[in-house]
Every structure is written in structure tokens, then in C-alpha cells.
């Protein structure tokens, strides 16, 4: 029996399939605003529902 992985990727942007891990990796690389993350991943360029979550991750990084 396989346990669900704790590392299972949490998808933040369902439109582009971008995971939280991916966004955090980009933030760590210096992608410090929504536009940069959007152009790198396509996140927030669809329905826009994930904007707030990405902004939140950026805020956490800044604090």
C-alpha cells in the first residue's frame, strides 16, 4: 500500500498547472513579483484566481 506523499505537489494555478513548489523555487531564484512569475509559468494569466495565493507566497518570502 502506498501512502500519499507529503511532498505531493500542491497546485496553486490550475489553469497553468503551476505548483506551490515551483513558485517557491522561482521566488528563491529572485522572481520577486507576480509579473515575473506569470511570465515564467503562465500562472495568473488564465482566470486570475491564483493571483492572491501567489502574492501571498511573495509576501511570506519578503517577511
Q: Which residues bind ligand FES (CB under 6 A)?
A: 13-16, 43-50
State the minimum distance, in angstroms, from the CB of residue 15 to ligand FES: 3
Residue closer to ligand FES by CB (options 6, 43) is: 43
Helix count and strand count (H, E) for the chain: 3, 2
State the minimum distance, in angstroms, from the CB of residue 44 to ligand FES: 5
What CA–CA distance (Å, rounded) separates 56 from 51?
8
Grid cell, residue 13, equals: 494555478
State the minimum distance, in angstroms, from the CB of residue 50 to ligand FES: 3
Instruction: Please list the residues that pair with 19 across neighbouring strands.
Output: 11
Amino acid at each position: 500500500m502506498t501512502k500519499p506523499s507529503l511532498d505531493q505537489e500542491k497546485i496553486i494555478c490550475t489553469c497553468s498547472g503551476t505548483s506551490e513548489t515551483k513558485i517557491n523555487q522561482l521566488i528563491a531564484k529572485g522572481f520577486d513579483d507576480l509579473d515575473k512569475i506569470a511570465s515564467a509559468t503562465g500562472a495568473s494569466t488564465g482566470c486570475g484566481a491564483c493571483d492572491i495565493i501567489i502574492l501571498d507566497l511573495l509576501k511570506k518570502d519578503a517577511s
